[in-house]
Amino acid sequence: MLQDVEQLGGPARFTYCEDANIPDYLNRHYWWAYVHPKAVHFFDRGWVINLILLGNYHRLRDAALAEFSERPLGRMLQISCAYGDLSARLARRAAKLGGTLEVVDVLPIQLKNLKWKLPSRTPARLLRMDSTDLRLPDQSYEQVLLFFLLHEQPADIRSKTLREALRVLKPGGKLVIVEFAKPKWWNPMRYLLRPLLGTLEPFALDLWDRDLVEMLPPFTGVRRSLYYGGLYQKLVVTR
């Protein structure tokens, strides 16, 4: 059941889907990063997220933002919160370019944290939903963003999230994915990061072993940009 529970000022508001349960993989593998209250406090700092992305946070954030610069922006959906100021920047951009921002996340603690980061009177709505079961109509967004969510999800969940992201995208709309990819053979990160990722982010190496593009349906067009010796990628998917 969907319920509007809180006015944030202006048109921004929370919508809670009460039957969205916290997925098992989040509780099991990512409690330390997203679920525990101290995690939010510790990780949501510029220098920490920049360190985690090996100094590439600003570059990757700006690469995502660069895809949302045309007027009118229309309805934009960010599937899952991200630490840092990406959503605040998207909300400002939406206000400037004639659009709206909706952000989905399954964890109330993350949505509440985001609420304090959004500029006041922002054209934003925060939705508590699971990325695999978006309670949103088909073909209802001009823009959809997945910023570093897919690598955290087991393969079956990842496919469902991708399917949902494409389902809610309007024909002619744009899905932007910023994610890990397999680094080039000459990139030392290809050898140094494997054990670390394998331990801390058990599903991330899937994106090294199977190209994300192969998971997209054939009716989509894809443009890819690589960053940091191929460790990161941006996919711009159109339908």
Ligand X SMILES: C[S@@+](CC[C@H](N)C(=O)[O-])C[C@H]1O[C@@H](n2cnc3c(N)ncnc32)[C@H](O)[C@@H]1O
Residues in contact with ligand X by the rule CB under 6 A: 23, 26, 34, 49, 80-84, 104-107, 110, 130-132, 147-149, 152
Separation CA 162–CA 70 (nearest Å): 24
- Name the minimum Å distance from CB 185 to ligand X: 26
Q: How far is the CB of 27 from ligand X (least distance, A)?
A: 10
CB of 43 vs ligand X, minimal distance in Å: 7
Kindly tell me which of 10 and 140 has the beta carbon lying closer to ligand X.
140
Judging by DSSP bridges, how do beta strands 74-79 and 99-105 pair with one another?
Answer: parallel
The C-alpha atoms of residue 143 and residue 122 are separated, in whole angstroms, by: 17
Within 8 A by CB and 6+ apart from 156, the residues are none
Please, which residue, 107 or 124, has the CB nearer to ligand X?
107
Of 95 and 145, which CB lies nearer to ligand X in the complex structure?
145
How far is it, in rounded angstroms, from Cα 7 to Cα 154? 34
CB of 70 to ligand X, least distance (A): 24
Q: Which CB, 10 or 17, lies closer to ligand X?
A: 17
How far apart are CB 218 and ligand X at their closest, in Å? Answer: 25
**Which residues lie across from 169 on neighbouring strands?**
141
Nearer to ligand X by Cβ, of 51 and 72: the residue is: 51
What would the two tokens of residue 122 be? 């922002």
Sign (positive or negative) of CA dihedral 150, 127, 41, 116: positive
